[in-house]
Every structure is written in structure tokens, then in C-alpha cells.
Structure 1
Amino acid sequence: MAADTSAADLIAQARAANSMGRPATAEQLLRRAIRVLSRPGATLEERQLRGAAVVALSSPVFERRGLGPALEVLAEADALLDGPEGEGVRTLSAVQRAGFLARGGEWRVAVELLATIGRHNPWLTRRQLVSVHLNRATARQYLGDHRASIADLRTAIELAVAADCPDLEFKARHNLGYSHFLTGDVPTALRTMAEADRMAVDVARATAKRDYARVLLESGLADEAAPLLHEALTIASEHRLRHEVGEVLVDTARLELLRGRPDRAREAASRAARLFRRRRADGWWVQSEILRAEAALARGTTPAAARRLAQRLEGLPTESRSVRLDALLVATEASLVGGDLDRARELFARARRAPAAPSGRLRQDWLAARLALAAGDRASARRRLRRAADRLAAQQDRPASLDARTAFALHAQRLVGLDVGMALEAGSPQQVLAATERWRAATSRLPSLVPHADSELEDLFTRLRDLRTQLLTSADDARTDELATRVADLERAIRHREWELADLGRDVRPRRPALAAEVAAHAAATDTDVLSLLATDDRLRAVTIDAHGTRLHDLADAAEVAEHTRLLLADLAMAGRRLPGGLDAVVRRSLRRRTAELRALLPVPRTRSRLLVVGTRVLRSVPWRLLPGLDDRPVVVTPSLTAWLAEAPRPAVPPAVVALAGPDLDRAGAEAAAVAGSWGDGARAVAPASGADLVDALVDADVVHAAAHGHHHEQNALFSSLAMHDGPLFAYELQRRGVRASHVVLSACDTGRAMMRPGDESVGLTSSLLACGARSVVAAVAPVADDAAAELMTAYHRHLAGGASSADALSRATAASAHPEQARLFCTYGSDWAATTGQVR
């Protein structure tokens, strides 16, 4: 009996080691247990325990040496006991075999092996029954039977809780999240995975991190997925979990393709293919080969090589419907590149089933449009592209976070290139503008973000506010480093929680994209020239609309302009500091030179009194009113012409006005009082003002003015903030209550700056206000002196209250300013606005 107890202890230790990702230790412990149980004259109980140990041994063998050796170990276990005495061991062996076959890609066989095992089985422990449902769920995921997979996982969770198996409960909850991802419900997937991740259980998390990274990839959050994949690869490599190494490499290849780096994608996919080939994991080898083919097509290949790729993809063996669909879609693309249109049509017809993932449906739209275009049917191609643009907008409406909304546009880049490329080929500025508007800042075509309350977020923001305040006042370097680490951890937790929240149940009707004729008519009616910029095919281009018509301009290399903009913003930041006299003069000369060079590059029309600018990512955060020739005109910068044309509710007459003062600004209180005084009895000043005061004002007032320090967070613009008396108020927090104020003035440094994502999606304080309901925002893109801001804003509100529009009022106040260069750092964003007539646009 002592031997049995010793062997049982070794088996338990081995299972724990295997669960924590230490297969070598687990294998060593199990072989010791098997030796103990192999003595002559062993009892039936000892022989059955030996069989269980041999079955358990197959798991670390699989991790270290692959499918073949693991199946050989299970065959040895099956032969240990004959007849009814060995039925329990053989049942356990069948469960393990099914799990290995599922991981190796033989999903249908795995399901068949496990089909007869329900919630109760006399030969299996409760823990083993949990594994049955886990393994069957995994196999059903790959076969596309997501409803049955989710049912298995819910049963697995119940059984794991009842059996007190937290490690298996963790796996079941995590896999349930992944099943939601496979059905296209990304927010629920992230939320469910996060619930699993918060479990205090000691398990290896390489697979969990990889799966979470893949969901982030589907969300378009490639930069956030990258470190998770790197961490998963490190864990799997350190513990010699070779199969998991291969799985991480597969998703690394997907990441690099999404980032537009096909050489790196091909390298990762090739490594994975070699690894899975050696391990006889054919299902995963097929996925690696598909990604290798995608990388080859993205790098560019000859028509003959592309035709060979298509043939090879057709012949890849797989039981998974989703993997088969991927193979057919990539083979369709290869046939198109190879010039075999008939074959491409045939392959695409076989791929009729829509992918579950929204990004996969966009890829299908892209291929359908390319097929139509190859056949000369430009009208059908445009229809498919319009449908895809609406699909993109509808998907972007699902998350309750501007971060997640804007990120998804990454998946539409090939569609944008095809659509705008067709228009450029036609040479029509009207078509180029219409195609650009279909994809530009798609979130601006959506209803405002729905306010959401979440107690977990409330707590996280409170803690972050406190830590940020401590960090600002800390003089101890060691303490500062510790606080900075904790701030970064909290910011990460807030982002993850935001991704988990969804706007569900809305009947989404994205606004129809603006047409050139509509824009031209409204521009004429409002005496506005239009400069709409776009970056595509590595070129910066523009469409202008003025009194002479609509024209298309090819301007410059996009990368060179982006670098010029980066240097200009660096000069702006330096110019806002107190520098020694000589250095200050050098910086200001450089700034004047760069703004002049940029102005010379741009075809700014000047046939009307006003100017509307639609920016693009290579010109992010440009101080438009600082450019020569733009300083004496009313200027509005809008995320899209579609947003500019949108109707807005008119404010109350007279409007409710609230002016708020933040801390550490000598003139903030006086500025708030002067602003309120400009509007008369309908206005009030709040000094000192808290973050709650500002949020309340944004909900209750028509016009909100905030005089406070601003901070632009370059790494994540949604953590840009306004300093209030109880700590910083972050852009993220605006989404919790929404914004009713139609016009917001941020008399603060850097609050007009933004991070620009693909699709020219803007993220920052100003864009958050616009996404949450504001129609017009005045903000600065660089540091502004306190006295200059107070002087400008007092005059600005006097003109605004007198009936001038926002852009006119800003232009008039600037003309009379004692600090004109500082005043020109402010601009009107979104739409123009007037107190008596509503939105001017």
C-alpha cells in the first residue's frame, strides 16, 4: 500500500507540473511512478493505477516529442490489461487520444471518440470528465460547430467547479471566451477571457495569452497583440512546449501580415510548418501553409508561381470548415494573381460560407470586388465595396469604446486601396472624394458612443487619478519608477476593461457617405473652400473644391510628408518651452521654415472666405492656422466631409454656458469669470472645478469652456487629460456619461493633438468629445501661455456670444491678439458653430 501511495503522489505531482507547463518534470515523475507500479505480483489496483500513469505519461510526451510518440504510449496503455479489467484504462486512453488528435488537426475523429461520453462515466473521475468536455469542445470549435462547443464548455465549467479543479475551470472559461470570438462576438470573448485570467490559479498561460492576442488581432489592436504573442512564445519555449510554440508562430504570422510585413510573416509561418510537419500535426501544418501562401502573395509573386500556389492550396488536407474556407479564399487570390479568372471564380463559388470573424467577411468582400473588377464589371465592384464599408461601420459600432471602434479599421486597408485606386484610375476627383469618404473616419458615420457606467472602471480611474497625482509630485527617483510602473499597469487594465464593454441591441444605420456634389453645393452655400487630403499608394493627394470646381492633386511622397510633420510637431513642442535666447530663436526659425514648406506643398484654395480641412494620418496634429495664408481665415478641421454635412440639433437660445477653471493656472479663475460674463445671466463660472464638475457640465450645458492644463499622452491618446482640482480627467472617461454640449472649448495645451489610426481614425481628447456627442470643439495642438490663452478666450467668447460662428470668432480674436502666434495654435474641430442659428458647418 505504501508503494501505491508513493506512486499516487508522484502521479499527482506530475499532473501539477504538466498543468504549469513543465512537461520534462512531469515525464520524469510519471516514469518513476510507473517503475514503482511495475513490480512483480502487483495487484489489480496497482496495475490499473499503472495504466492511468501510462496514459498520463502520453501528455508530456506529446508536448516534447509530438503526436506519433504520444499515440505509441497510449497503445502501450491499452495493452496493459485485457477484458473488463482494462476498460477503465482504455476509456481514459480514448479521452487522451481524442485530445491529441484534436490538437493535431484530426477533429472529426476526436469528436467521434468522445461522442458516447456524457456527464457521468463509471471509469472516469470527475476531473477526467471535465477533460472530456474540454477536448470535445476544442474539436467542435475547429469543425465549426460552435453551438455544441459552447454547450460542452459550459458543462465543463459546472463539472470543474463541482470537482474543485480550478486549473480546468480556468481552461474551460478561457476556451468559452475563444468560442465567442469564433462566432464573431469580440467584446464577449474579451470579457470572458478576462474573467478566466483573473482566476488565482497556477497554470501555464502561453495558450491563454496567444488566444487573447488573436482576439486583439481580430479587433485591429495589432500593437497590443504583439507583446502578448512574444510573451506566449517565451513561456512556451522556456517550458519546451513545442506544439504551443508552433501555435504562437502561426498567430505571429497573422500579426505580421496585418502589419504589412510579409517577409516576417513568411518566416514565422515557415518555422511553424516545419515544426508541425515533424510532429505530424497536419491540421496545424495546413494552417501554416496557408499563411505561407498569403505571405508569398503579399510579397509579390509571378503569375506562374501564383497558379502553382493555388493548386497547392486546393490539395491541402483539412477537416475544418474554417480552415478549408481560408484555403479557398487564398487560392482565389492566387488564381487572380495568376491570371486564371475562371478558376478564381470557381474557387470563390466553393467558398460560399461566410467566415465567422468580421475581418474574414471583409476579406471576402475584397475578393468579390477584385473578381468583379477583373471581369470588367466596375459597377458590381463598387456595389460590393459600398456594402463592405457599411459592414465595417456596423462592426465598429459594436464596442462601447472609441479605442476598439477606431482600431478595427486596420482590417479594411486593402478595401480602401482597391476603392480609391479604382477612382484614381478613372481620374475623377468626384469619384476619389466619394471613395475616400466611404472609408475615412468611418466612426464619424455612426451614432455617438452610448454612455456606459461600469463600477470596475470607476474604481480603476479613481486609482489612476491618485497615482498620476502622486507621480507629478514625486521627487524620489525610485518612488517615481515604482509609480510609473503602477500607472502603466492601471492604464493597461483600463484599456482591457474598455474593450470588454459592448453596445449591443442597437439598430445601426451608418450615415450615407458624402458625395462630391453635396459637398460642393454646401461649400458654395456657406462660402467655404474645401481641402480634403488623403494618403494612399504611398502618395499624399488632395481633392479641392472651390468656386472654380473640383480638382484632384498629386502632392508628394507620403512618408516624406509624415517625417516633415513629425519634425514640425517637435519644433512646436520645443517652442512652447522656456529656452535660452539663442536656442529659442533657432527653434522658431525652424518652425517658420517648416510651416512655410508645408504650406507651399498644399494646394489650399482661396476663392471663398472660409476654409474646411479634412486631414489625414501623415498630417496629424498640424497647426493649420499657423500656416502662412491660413492665419487670416476662418478655418475648420473635420474628421470627414460626411460628418461635416451631418445635421446637428440647434442649441437653446440663449444657450446654457458653463466655464470651469482648473488648478495651477494664475489666470484660470479670471478667465472662467470673463467667459461667463461674456454670455450674461445664462452663464456660470465654476472655480475651482473638479472632474465631476466638468463631466456634469458636458451633460447639462450647451457651451462648455475649460481653462486648465492639458496633457497629450503620446503612447495612448485616450489617456490624454485635463488637470482638474481633484486630479486629471481622462479622454476615456468622457464615454461614461456622454456629451450633450454642442460646443466645447478647451483652453489648454496640446488638447487638439491626436493619434491617427488607419482609416484616418483620430483618437484623443478632441476626437473623444466629438465621438461622444459634441459637434464642435476648439482646442490647441501645442503648449500655450496662460496669459495668451486668457486674452484670446475672453475675446473669442465675446464674439461668439455676439453671434459670430466659432471659426469667425476665433479668427477675429486672433487678429486682435497681442500673442498672434500663440492664438493660431487654436482651431475649430468637427464643425463650425454659432449660438443663434445652430451649427454653421
Structure 2
Amino acid sequence: MSASADPRATIATTVVRGTRTQRADALHDLSVAHVELGHLDAAAQVARRGLRLTGEARFHLTLAWIDLDRGRRKQSLRHLDAATPHLRGRELARARCLRGLHLCQTAEPRLAVAELTAVIRELRRYGDDRWLANALIGRGIARCGAIRLGAAEADFASAQTLLQAIGEPGRAAMALHNRGFVAMLAGDLPLALRRYEEAAKAGLDSTSRPEALVDRAEALLAAGLTTEARRVLAPAMELLRRCNRHVPELAVLSARCALRDGDPEPARKLGGTDVEFMLAAGELDAVAAHRFRGPAQTRALGWLAQARRSDRRGALAACRAGLKVLDEHHGDWPRRELTGHALELARTAREVLHWSEQHRRRMSLPPNDPELARALARLRRARAHGLPVEALERDVRRLTLASAPRSGDAPATPDLPLVSFILHKGRMRAVTVENGRASLREVEDPARLVREARLAVAAGRPVPGLLPDAEEVVVIPDGVLHEMPWAALGQRVHVLPSLRHWRPATRGGYRMWVTGPGVRSEVPALQREHGGTIVKSTVEATLAGMEGAKIAHIAAHGHVHPGNPLFSHLDLGDGPLYGYDVARLGNPPEVVVLSACESGLARAFLDAGTRTVIASVLPVPDARVGEAMAEVHRRIDHPAEAARAVAHLGFSCYGTGTRVAACSAAAKEVPVQRSCEEPTVAGTSTPDATTSTHGPRPEKPAGAPTAVTAGRAAGHQGRSEPPLPAAATTLPPHEASTGGQRSSNE
């Protein structure tokens, strides 16, 4: 079986005529060209026609390849048996290669590796580069089965190089795709998706190789994107049906999607040795045996099974071991299953605080990738012209997953009162920390608390108390509490997505201002008073202006995306500024002020590295924006105080809103609007008090948030605990020592 570099050209130009030998050659070329394009029915029809014409062994060899591709192993072996006695030299080596590929699917992988290694030596001796690439790919597949991933990567890379050299870019792209499969097995999900994307760009035709779509769906499912995986599986199933191919993994992936959506029935029907199915069936002992071997997600599932079969202390240790596996391999699933199980078992305030921080973690934002920027530009144009955007949004999500995540900063611990809320399985709990002592309480009907607070703000009434009696408090909300107008509760409130978002002041810089279309802008007056640069209202100009800025003020209408916060956006002159655009910032502003209505972008800015975002959770009347923003910028050296000054409009301080030392908020040409003298009231954030921008006071433990009594709004006094040790909010609690069935990381 040989091939041309352009199978479509072969089909278009080849005519079956002439002598018997000429017709046989033409039929053979046509059958191979159809195989290359995935037209297996047409390929088989032409090959059988050639077999009837001459009975030559090469047509048996082609039919053996076609049946192997279709998953019809018995028929393929029958054709091989018929061809082998008539083959010599190079053709015999090709037949041996096909037998080696059979062994990849039916035998112990080491047998396939041994057979294909011998075949590779023969094909090199004959100079048969194309079939040498086939054998290398087959051996790579066998080595994947033997979990010899480094050797498999080397085989696929060699095959890719060889196929590029002989002018077969489509098959070279398939070898690159296989390298993505190796990365998937190794647990490097971003690298796997990146190679799948590169293979598609390099010419991999998924219509002729729908198995590539199955691999991509598996990667998306591994990333926890069940809906995306289903969208990729649907065309794969249709293409495989048309090609009359059988791919066992397809049913498994469909059942996994159903299982993730809460329907275990397809998984139960399939049964077998899939660890996810066995876990759903309650076969904990069998699944737990996988915690020391296999791909990263298989091992993580093994630790989840170990947690479910252990006593409480042993289960917490197993959950930590599973998270360690995922962290080492940049994995995300089954992270929330592990942390959710640990939260169910957490009894003490320390345990709840630790596991709630683990539960909040999510994949890092991608770096500033040029292809992602182009995809966002296409999405902007489509939205501007009223065109469908769903497919373009999928492209952006896929490119984000394929990007190598940016490294995160080491978290700093707030030396302030702390209240951390966590919602799990309909139950809201709050951990309050004071002077190293922690208490735990239930929060009843948080939705009612939010409704009452928002109504009170709209009516100009005092907001009912929810936080402890302290001048300055760090709050980590969850669930419906994200909609709370926190600054209206009376204190200086720093609203964090997680403790990892607490950041010290870092630098000086300049102010930049931008105004979106259709906004009655306060920007010109503010710029005249405070200085800085008014930036053109385009996405690229705004991003360039924000790089390295101290303070960025954006007056634009916002839109919250209900399904994906990174598709929330602000309207600028040339289209939306998405959260994904914010992720492209390499040196984001230290303070961002969003003066219009809620945009949903505060989290995107904080994830990108911004220290503070001042934004509202309520619609802001245009007539009141100017005065409010003037007050904000007069107090901007203390963002939490600035947000409190305009709390009656629903504004809050997201991130670290402590005072900026040395007046660095007014760097370069920006005039200082307030003195940097520190107040003397106990509990405020000053360079001499507990929130110094140079770190905690030496006599305080570095990881111990301070102050706060049990809250009063929910009516529960909670439980008090002994003092927390240093860094207790970021390190595992001491109760997590192993008990029950022992874990691997003891």
C-alpha cells in the first residue's frame, strides 16, 4: 500500500484503463487515496474490484488495512493470512507492520513493541519511509499502552518528522495530534490541547479522522467542560457512523458525559474496567488500587475512592494526596469532587477555612497569546454586526484551555479580621477569625440577607448588620453573597475571591481614563483635577494604556455573562472589552475603578494581578456618577475608604483596599489629593498598623488573620477554637494527619 502526497489529486486524475496491469495499478492508487481521505467504503469497493481483476496480494493488504481501520480485526487478519504467502521483501515487511498494529489493540503492549521494533529495522533497511512512519506510530501507540510515555513521544515525533520530509503534511499533523495524546496521558492537559490545536492548524482533517475529535472531546471532559465535550462528540459520532467505523472509546465518553450530568445509567450499562464507571458503581476498593499508577486523573480518582472508604482523618489525607497529583500535572478534574468531599467531612473552623480555599481554586488565566487575541477580535466583530457568537465563544474557550497557564503569585495573608463564607450542597457556613482564634457558624437564608441589604441601599436606609463589629474586615463571599453591597454595611470591607487575592502595594505609576460610548462621562472633569491620560476608547488602546498604570478609570456600560464570567464585558468604541482581554494584561493596573453599572469583570482584573477594583453591584444613575467618582478619587489612596464613601450607590472594594504607603497612588504627573498621614484609630490600615504595605508587624504571626467576633446577622453564636498557628489559613490543618486506611503521602 503506497500513497501520493495529494490523495484528492490522485482521485481526480487517475483513470482506470489500459492493460490489465495498468488498470490494477490505477485501482490500487485509487483505493489507497480513498483510505487517506477516510472514504473507507469507496476504498474497499475499489480494492475489491482490483482483487477480482488480478487476485494480487497487494489488494488483500489494502483491504486488511481498511478493515483494521474500521475495527473489523477478524476480517483484517483473514486478508493478511491470504496475502502473506505471496509477499516478499518490502511487501512482507508491510504485512508484518499490519500484524504489529493488530497486536497494539489485542495483545500485551510489550509484544506489540517487540514485533514493531523488528519491523522498523526491516523497513529502514528497505528505505520504505511511509510504512516506517506507520510502524513508528504503531509502536508509539503500544508504548502508550505500556505507559512508556517518553518513548512514545519519541516515536510520534520521529514519525512526524519523517512524514513532513516525504511531503505528507496531513499525516504529519496526525502524528502531532498523537503527541497531544501522550501529553494527555501524562496529565499535562494544556499541552495536550495545545498540540491538538496545532495539529488542526497543520492540516489534520477531522472529517477523515473523526477519532481526533474523540480525543479532543476526552481532553475537554478532563478539563471539566462537559457541554463542550458533548458538542465535539456529536459530529464525531455522525462521522464515524458514516465511515462505518467502530471506536469503543466513543460509548465510554458519552457515558462519562452523562455521568457528569448526573445520569449514571449509561455507565452502569457499559460497566467494564473504566475507573470512573467503577467509582459510580461503588467499587471503591478496585478504584482505590489505581491511586499509585496510571494517568494523573486516574490516580486522582483512586484517591477519591480512598477518601470515600476511609475514616474522616484518613479521608482528608487522601483528598490532599489527590489534589497534590492534580497540582503536579496542571489538572482540574476531579478537584472539586475531592474538595467537596473534604468539605462534607470538615468539622472545625480551621478545616472548613482550609478546604473552602481549596474548593475556590480554579485554573489560572492564560497568557497573552496572539491567537487568542485574534479569536477575541473575531468575536468582537461578530457581536458588533449582530452575527451569531456561540461558535466564536467556543473557539475562545478552547484556545484558553490550550494555553499554558500563567504562574500565580505567592499569596500574602491579610493581617485583618476575616470572615470566609462557603456554600456547599445548599449549606452556607461562615468562618470568622480573630487573633488566631477561629469560630464556625451556619448562615441561614443568605438570599434574604442580600435582598434586604440591596433594598435598604436603594431606599437610603441603614443596612442590617452582617459582619462583626470591627472597623476593617476582609470578606470572602460565596454564592448569592457575591451580590451583597458590602461597603454599605458600615465598615471598610475588602471583598476577596479567595485569600490568594490579597496583595501588598507594589509600585507607582500613572492614571489612565477611558470612556465608552453612550455614557455621560465624568472623565474630562476628573482628568483635569487629577491629571493622567485620556485613552482612545478602543480595546487595544485601553489594554495598552492599562499596562503598568497605577490607577485605571473606565466609564462604560457593563454586561454580565451568566455562563462564563470571562465573557462579561464593558462596551468600548470598537466593541466589547472581555474578561479574556483583561487576561492578556502582563502588568495590570494596581487600582481599577469601574464607574458604570455592574460588569462582572472585577474577578477578571483580580485574577490578572490587579490589587483593587472599585465597582458597583447596582445600577448607577448617570446624574450621580460624577459626584460619586469625584469622591472616590479624592480618597483613592485608601480604596476601601473610597468605596465606603459611595456605598450608598452599591459600590464595594474588591481585592486589597488597604492604604497605599508613601503616596504612591499619585506617581508621575498625578497630583496627590490627600495627605498620607496615617489615622490613629485602632484597627485602621496604616504603615504602622496591622495592614502595613511592607507586610505584617514582626510580633504578629505571618499567617494569622486577626480580630472578629461571631457575626450577629444569622443568629448563630458558632463555636470558638484554640488559636490558629502561623499560616493556618494556607497550610493544611493539623487534624489532617492520616487516620483510617493509610495514604501514599505519609
Q: TM-score, normalised by structure 1?
A: 0.68
- Within the alignment, does 1:501 sit opposite 2:403 as a pair? yes
Residue 770 of structure 1: how far off its partner (Å): 0.8
Q: Secondary structure at the match of 2:627?
A: helix
Amino acid at match of 2:337: R
Counterpart contact for 1:23–1:239, Cα < 8 Å: yes
Q: Hey, what does 1:813 align to over in structure 2? A: 646
Structure 2 segments unaligned to the other structure (5+ residues): 1-17, 661-675, 677-685, 694-746
Q: Hey, what does 2:421 align to over in structure 1? A: 533
For 1:622 and 1:650, locate their aligned partners in 2 and report how far apart those are by CA, in whole Å: 29
Cα gap change, 1:154 to 1:185, in 2 (>3 Å): same
Residue deviations 1:535-563 (CA, integer Å, cap 9, x gap): 22443333345799744334469xxx79x
Q: Hey, what does 1:282 align to over in structure 2? A: none
- Within the alignment, does 1:294 sit opposite 2:156 as a pair? no
- Within the alignment, does 1:213 sit opposite 2:201 as a pair? no
Amino acid at match of 1:10: L
1:649 to 500, 505, 514: 505
For 1:410 and 1:180, locate their aligned partners in 2 and report how far apart those are by CA, in whole Å: 16
Amino acid at match of 1:75: D
Q: Secondary structure at the match of 1:115?
A: helix
Counterpart contact for 2:419–2:431, Cα < 8 Å: yes
Counterpart contact for 1:660–1:686, Cα < 8 Å: yes
Residue deviations 1:484-524 (CA, integer Å, cap 9, x gap): 2xx444433333333333258x7x78548x6xxxx7x721x
- Within the alignment, does 1:331 sit opposite 2:337 as a pair? no
Counterpart contact for 1:547–1:608, Cα < 8 Å: no
For 1:547 and 1:90, locate their aligned partners in 2 and report how far apart those are by CA, in whole Å: 79
- Within the alignment, does 1:706 sit opposite 2:723 as a pair? no
Residue deviations 1:61-81 (CA, integer Å, cap 9, x gap): 3455732232222212224x2
Counterpart contact for 2:505–2:611, Cα < 8 Å: no
After TM superposition, the structure 1 = structure 2 runs for residues 246-645 of structure 1, keeping only pairs within 5 Å, are 246-267=248-269, 269-270=270-271, 287-288=273-274, 290-297=275-282, 306=283, 331-333=286-288, 347=289, 352-353=292-293, 355-357=294-296, 359-367=297-305, 373-374=310-311, 378=313, 382=316, 385-386=319-320, 388-389=322-323, 392=326, 396=330, 409-424=332-347, 428-441=348-361, 452-469=367-384, 471=385, 480=386, 483-484=387-388, 487-502=389-404, 511=411, 522-523=416-417, 530-545=418-433, 550-555=438-443, 592=455, 604-616=466-478, 618-619=479-480, 621-625=482-486, 630-644=488-502
Higher helix share: 1
1:779 to 615, 630, 633: 615
Cα gap change, 1:69 to 1:124, in 2 (>3 Å): farther
Q: Hey, what does 1:236 align to over in structure 2? A: 240
Counterpart contact for 2:496–2:655, Cα < 8 Å: yes
Counterpart contact for 2:100–2:138, Cα < 8 Å: yes
2:59 to 53, 56, 76: 53
Residue 694 of structure 1: how far off its partner (Å): 2.7
- Within the alignment, does 1:659 sit opposite 2:513 as a pair? yes
Q: Hey, what does 1:694 align to over in structure 2? A: 542
After TM superposition, the structure 1 = structure 2 runs for residues 137-152 of structure 1, keeping only pairs within 5 Å, are 137-152=140-155
Residue deviations 1:596-621 (CA, integer Å, cap 9, x gap): 9xx99x992442345543222x3274
Residue 165 of structure 1: how far off its partner (Å): 2.8
Counterpart contact for 1:636–1:807, Cα < 8 Å: yes
Residue deviations 1:90-109 (CA, integer Å, cap 9, x gap): 33222112223323454333
Q: Hey, what does 1:16 align to over in structure 2? A: 33
Residue 198 of structure 1: how far off its partner (Å): 1.7
Counterpart contact for 1:423–1:431, Cα < 8 Å: yes
For 2:420 and 2:564, locate their aligned partners in 1 and report how far apart those are by CA, in whole Å: 26
2:227 to 196, 202, 223: 223
Residue 208 of structure 1: how far off its partner (Å): 0.6
Amino acid at match of 2:516: G
Counterpart contact for 2:304–2:338, Cα < 8 Å: yes
Counterpart contact for 1:187–1:502, Cα < 8 Å: yes
For 1:593 and 1:737, locate their aligned partners in 2 and report how far apart those are by CA, in whole Å: 37
Q: Secondary structure at the match of 1:636?
A: strand
Amino acid at match of 2:383: R
- Within the alignment, does 1:204 sit opposite 2:182 as a pair? no
Q: Hey, what does 2:23 align to over in structure 1? A: 6
For 2:551 and 2:457, locate their aligned partners in 1 and report how far apart those are by CA, in whole Å: 35
Counterpart contact for 1:393–1:442, Cα < 8 Å: no
Q: Secondary structure at the match of 2:552?
A: strand
The two structures, once aligned, show a CA RMSD in angstroms of 3.8
Q: Secondary structure at the match of 2:581?
A: helix
Cα gap change, 1:749 to 1:238, in 2 (>3 Å): farther
Residue 27 of structure 1: how far off its partner (Å): 2.2
For 1:265 and 1:743, locate their aligned partners in 2 and report how far apart those are by CA, in whole Å: 49
Q: Secondary structure at the match of 2:334?
A: helix
Counterpart contact for 2:372–2:396, Cα < 8 Å: yes
Amino acid at match of 1:93: A
- Within the alignment, does 1:188 sit opposite 2:191 as a pair? yes
Amino acid at match of 1:674: A
- Within the alignment, does 1:768 sit opposite 2:706 as a pair? no
Cα gap change, 1:264 to 1:811, in 2 (>3 Å): farther
Cα gap change, 1:186 to 1:772, in 2 (>3 Å): same
Q: Hey, what does 1:729 align to over in structure 2? A: 577
Amino acid at match of 1:171: M
Q: Hey, what does 2:157 align to over in structure 1? A: 154
Residue deviations 1:452-504 (CA, integer Å, cap 9, x gap): 444434433444434433x2xxxxxxxx4xx32xx444433333333333258
Counterpart contact for 2:30–2:43, Cα < 8 Å: yes
Higher relative contact order (CA 8 A, sep 6+): 2
Counterpart contact for 2:602–2:613, Cα < 8 Å: yes
Cα gap change, 1:442 to 1:688, in 2 (>3 Å): closer
Amino acid at match of 2:53: V
Cα gap change, 1:829 to 1:28, in 2 (>3 Å): same
Counterpart contact for 1:831–1:840, Cα < 8 Å: no
Q: Secondary structure at the match of 2:598?
A: coil
Cα gap change, 1:217 to 1:139, in 2 (>3 Å): same
Q: Hey, what does 1:584 align to over in structure 2? A: none
Residue 89 of structure 1: how far off its partner (Å): 4.1
Cα gap change, 1:468 to 1:192, in 2 (>3 Å): same
Q: Hey, what does 1:579 align to over in structure 2? A: none
Residue 10 of structure 1: how far off its partner (Å): 2.4
Q: Secondary structure at the match of 2:610?
A: coil
Q: Percent identity?
A: 27
Q: Secondary structure at the match of 2:632?
A: helix
Residue 639 of structure 1: how far off its partner (Å): 0.9
Residue 706 of structure 1: how far off its partner (Å): 0.9
Q: Hey, what does 2:699 align to over in structure 1? A: none
